[in-house]
């Protein structure tokens, strides 16, 4: 009986915790976004990762670390995909803090704060939006025959050296003839 009560208490505690996560059951949120200053670069985030202004990352109060979110600036319809690495924002009325690079992607740097739509991406993000499936590529390596390759290279080097040596000998022969005293034979 005590065990059953313990499990019920544990389960109800867990379920009540979920009620504090209003966003995660929803497919998207709308609200205000702000962004980290470039000066935040190097600071450690709540996930333990270091913040960098060039990374496409964000802080969100509820989504688990590593969650990919699509953030759309509702003023200009520009979007960026970011990874949750930090907790926040804690500013009143804000739903997400973006890295400087992510804020730049959606053109909100000059505004400072923008009204955005945040969508959780359930599937891995394709390389390009139109790439739903990557082509199958055969990565089997061609057989490498080092002996033939190096033999050919060595023969080519020897041939080039022989040509240079032959030219030098011919040049030396011509120079020797030119320097030699000329004997005039008179009959």
pLDDT digits (tens, 9 = 90+) for 140-182: 655 555 556 567 777 778 888 888 888 888 888 888 778 776 6
pTM: 0.55
| pLDDT, tens digit, 9 for 90 and up, residues 48-72 | 999 998 999 999 999 999 999 999 9
Distances (CA, A) of 95 to 24, 42, 62, 130, 132: 12, 23, 10, 29, 30
Which numeric CATH code is attached to 23-120?
A: 2.40.40.10
How far, in Å, CA of 94 to CA of 98, rounded?
11
Q: Which band of pLDDT confidence, cut at 50, 70 and 90, is reported for residue 33?
A: very high
Q: Burial, 145: exposed, middle or buried (Cβ in 10 Å; 0-12, 13-18, 19+)? A: exposed
């Amino acid at each position: 009986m005590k065990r059953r009560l313990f499990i019920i208490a544990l389960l109800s505690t867990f379920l009540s915790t979920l009620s504090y996560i209003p966003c995660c059951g929803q497919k998207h949120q709308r609200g205000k976004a702000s962004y980290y200053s470039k000066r935040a670069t190097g600071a450690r985030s709540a996930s333990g990762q270091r913040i960098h202004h060039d990374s496409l990352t964000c802080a969100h109060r509820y989504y688990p670390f590593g969650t990919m979110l699509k953030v759309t600036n509702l003023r200009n319809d520009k979007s960026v995909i970011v990874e949750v690495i930090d907790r926040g924002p804690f500013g009143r009325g804000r739903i997400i803090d973006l890295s400087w690079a992510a804020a730049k992607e959606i053109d909100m740097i000059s505004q400072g704060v923008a009204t955005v739509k945040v969508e959780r991406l359930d599937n891995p993000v394709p390389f390009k939006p139109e790439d739903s499936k990557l082509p199958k590529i055969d990565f089997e390596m061609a057989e490498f025959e080092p002996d033939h390759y190096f033999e050919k290279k060595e023969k080519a080097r020897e041939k080039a050296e022989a040509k240079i040596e032959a030219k030098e000998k011919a040049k030396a022969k011509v120079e020797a003839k030119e320097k030699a005293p000329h004997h005039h034979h008179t009959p």
